[in-house]
Structure 1
């Protein structure tokens, strides 16, 4: 196998035809979704609910499809980690996240349902107060900026058409901005239905052909470094656990909350998360092993797109086009969700009251998000893993524990205490990230420092409130 390929010379006419047929079917699903929009929607409030959370009519199958599809836009990121570090990818990008999903399903769903919120900051306002909501909205905005996915889409288009990465990032982002503006959350959900099927089928096909062509674990063990089978990879337990805390940021991830708020019932949301977790488990096995096969077969390939280079060469005519469409679907299904939600944060959670929820403001918000994402993609120089760790660390270290404490001890944390805890968490996390640390603490990740800070602030508040009561 070659470590580099020209996609257009590798693909047959059948592959190209199937690739574009999948894209057309996806576009058709968005149009059909718009046609199914209820004619009973008349008031501005009903229109806003339909735009943002599908009028709370998200059924179980649609819930599973959109949640699963939304979570895997960084396929070039996870396969790069698996290519370089093997099983470590499944632990850090899989197992830790399953724990968070199950906690969400069994602990949080029944707690958030009574609030009838529309967005996560809206929920936080009802739990803590308006200042907390504004601060949470700022955190959420940076947490859902689709920077990693604009990079993934840029890499994909660069492989397809060539040219500079930044130009492909701009063109790809422009395309997603346009269709996200047109259809709202309804467009996101209906496109996810098709993308869910294509992306899941695609990664399974790659793994099946890898196994039948090269064999199973014996082949991988004979052709990969021992560290590829170590749970902590090359970095050790401390750094591995950082990813565990980042995974727990799911508990304050606005995409999860948006879909739960949109679900037709509390039961549909809980079961949807559990079914989705099972599918994610299978998906992670396929992507991790697929990337490990790529490392074993073409170790000199560029890690960022080695999985795609490998997959295209191992598959026969027709299936190459289908899997290629599946990889694109994986990226688009996440990018449009994050783009839409970041736009919602600007238009609904951060906009002045008189502009709140206006469709035109939402459209402008999506455009602004697209521009910021492109700029940050260039700032991070196309490094997806760095994007995840940087933005995920702030969300996990500063927002996670205050919100969880609010769920565990409702009414005990006031608006000001929430704000103080989060702001001090930001300051200490950013400071620790940028200072020259003492030798003893050089390996202590900034995420731990942020979590410790927010915990101490809330604990001190608890002690002081106890003394006042005494």
Structure 2
């Protein structure tokens, strides 16, 4: 049974009030669209790192469940590959994106591949940055703590993440997430310290964990691990990364900021993975592994400290929720309304984006209320939609990899369709060697083959022109 003292409630309410206050106080006076969407493209290195690190997490209850079930495999699939691709993003893309001085990924694809590819990519981005899972997680915690119904908890979650964005846009997003950066680290540092002092260190874990939990690959299949590594390719087309790179003061800030962020991600992953391992060692059998962190908090924290830990969990989720909510709204405002009617002026674009926050909030509340589950959402959505956009984004920044606009559109449609078709057909091959083939492998293979054909066609045509 999870219970909260009056002191815990006071700590949490103080956290929520501070979050809202910072969001509104630092919203400032919005000068133009660039100020609203990208904080005037003036993020310094310090703020860049804080907002990039805090936004990268969100599914903290999922991290607890994954670590409880599989141990170090959680870090090996959810952390390690992302460090690699984030570092490569910093080296090969950060400066190019900042120098492009655009607003969104579909902006770049419009510039390189035209309107149809841009609009199709906007649909994919909108799905990939859906804030619904994070809204549901925030609401679930609020429901359990304050004993309110789910619908009310969902509306409160939207207010905590979206109200200040309507007024201050990305600037409010930055300062709220900077504040939450410190809260999320404090919460999990406390958890690791108390577990270590109470139960012991590595020896306690090795004696009380299954052997597979202390292996990086666990007992997972190679195909399972490979797909998670491929999903990490999402880093190259992550709208959040692109948004922050566009908002950086210059290309150097974007490049260095992401490299520095990798070290903070590694530290936070160490904290969350260690906390999850302690939860598994202390509670060998949990009916709901998704509540591994809350049950651990009930066991180890005194009143007040438990409130701080829960504030850390809320900060981890809301820092992603508000960022995805704003990315989703930007997609609605700029990549749909503005793309379909380019005569929209700056003030109207800001208005459409702020309305996009409300629209995205309503859609997310509806999804969360009628489909109250986040199980395998990231795995399924990532497997199906990421292959359709990665080659487009990479080739848009490297001219030699660019293909014909029509072929690019075909590539995206086929990659998405092939993955979806195999997703539904795959069950018919259960028990056979074909079943191990993941939908993402089908989608990505389709995209790569069509892209190679597009490049072959491009260079063949170029050679013919030279001969003539």
Same fold by TM-score greater than 0.5: yes
Query: Which moves more between the two structures, 243-252 or 354-363?
Result: 354-363
How far apart, CA to CA, are the structure 2 residues paired with 1:290 and 1:150?
Answer: 23
Q: 1:401 corresponds to which residue?
A: 391
Q: 2:245 corresponds to which residue?
A: 260
How far apart, CA to CA, are the structure 2 residues paired with 1:49 and 1:410?
Answer: 30
Q: Where do residues 107-122 of structure 1 align in structure 2 (5 Å cutoff)?
A: 107-122=92-107
Q: 1:348 corresponds to which residue?
A: 334
How far apart, CA to CA, are the structure 2 residues paired with 1:148 and 1:361?
Answer: 24
Q: 2:448 corresponds to which residue?
A: 455
Q: What's the CA shift string for 1:359-399, capped at 9, x where partnerless?
A: 32212212221222233335654124x11112222332111
How far apart, CA to CA, are the structure 1 residues paired with 2:460 and 2:100?
Answer: 31
Q: What's the CA shift string for 1:106-128, capped at 9, x where partnerless?
A: 11112223321111111222232
Query: Which moves more between the two structures, 417-426 or 302-311?
Result: 302-311
Q: 1:418 corresponds to which residue?
A: 408
How far apart, CA to CA, are the structure 2 residues paired with 1:450 and 1:273?
Answer: 28
How far apart, CA to CA, are the structure 2 residues paired with 1:350 and 1:388?
Answer: 24
TM-score under structure 1 length normalisation: 0.91
TM-score under structure 2 length normalisation: 0.92
The change in CA–CA distance for 1:447 and 1:379 in structure 2 (over 3 A counts) is farther
Q: 1:209 corresponds to which residue?
A: 194
How far apart, CA to CA, are the structure 2 residues paired with 1:356 and 1:236?
Answer: 53
Q: 2:354 corresponds to which residue?
A: 363
Unaligned 5+ residue runs, structure 2?
A: none
The counterpart of 1:392, out of the listed 359, 365, 382, is: 382
Q: Is the contact between residue 402 and residue 454 of structure 1 (CA under 8 Å) also seen in structure 2?
A: no
The counterpart of 1:28, out of the listed 6, 13, 21, is: 21
Residue 249 of structure 1: how far off its partner (Å):
0.4
How far apart, CA to CA, are the structure 2 residues paired with 1:188 and 1:24?
Answer: 15
The change in CA–CA distance for 1:110 and 1:464 in structure 2 (over 3 A counts) is same
Q: Is the contact between residue 8 and residue 308 of structure 2 (CA under 8 Å) also seen in structure 1?
A: yes
Q: Is the contact between residue 394 and residue 447 of structure 1 (CA under 8 Å) also seen in structure 2?
A: yes
Indicate yes or no: 2:314 matched with 1:328: yes
Query: Which moves more between the two structures, 16-25 or 258-267?
Result: 16-25
Q: 2:374 corresponds to which residue?
A: 383
- The SS at the match of 2:179 is helix
Q: What's the CA shift string for 1:258-309, capped at 9, x where partnerless?
A: 0100000111111111111111101001111101111111233321122122
Indicate yes or no: 2:280 matched with 1:298: no
| RMSD value, Cα | 2.0
How far apart, CA to CA, are the structure 2 residues paired with 1:367 and 1:312?
Answer: 36
Residue 19 of structure 1: how far off its partner (Å):
2.5
Indicate yes or no: 2:182 matched with 1:191: no
How far apart, CA to CA, are the structure 1 residues paired with 2:206 and 2:103?
Answer: 49
The change in CA–CA distance for 1:183 and 1:395 in structure 2 (over 3 A counts) is same
- The SS at the match of 1:399 is helix
Unaligned 5+ residue runs, structure 1?
A: 42-46
- The SS at the match of 2:26 is helix
The counterpart of 2:324, out of the listed 329, 332, 338, is: 338
The counterpart of 1:124, out of the listed 103, 109, 115, is: 109
Q: What's the CA shift string for 1:243-267, capped at 9, x where partnerless?
A: 1111110110101100100000111
How far apart, CA to CA, are the structure 2 residues paired with 1:356 and 1:226?
Answer: 61
Q: Is the contact between residue 143 and residue 392 of structure 1 (CA under 8 Å) also seen in structure 2?
A: yes
Residue 221 of structure 1: how far off its partner (Å):
1.8
Indicate yes or no: 2:224 matched with 1:239: yes
Q: Is the contact between residue 115 and residue 126 of structure 1 (CA under 8 Å) also seen in structure 2?
A: no
- The SS at the match of 1:375 is helix
How many aligned residue pairs are there?
454
Indicate yes or no: 2:179 matched with 1:182: no
How far apart, CA to CA, are the structure 1 residues paired with 2:183 and 2:306?
Answer: 12
Q: What's the CA shift string for 1:401-431, capped at 9, x where partnerless?
A: 2322343444732321221111100110100
Q: 1:372 corresponds to which residue?
A: 363
Q: 1:44 corresponds to which residue?
A: none
Q: 2:128 corresponds to which residue?
A: 143
Q: What's the CA shift string for 1:321-354, capped at 9, x where partnerless?
A: 2121111111111101100110110110111324
Q: Is the contact between residue 109 and residue 392 of structure 2 (CA under 8 Å) also seen in structure 1?
A: no
Residue 71 of structure 1: how far off its partner (Å):
1.2
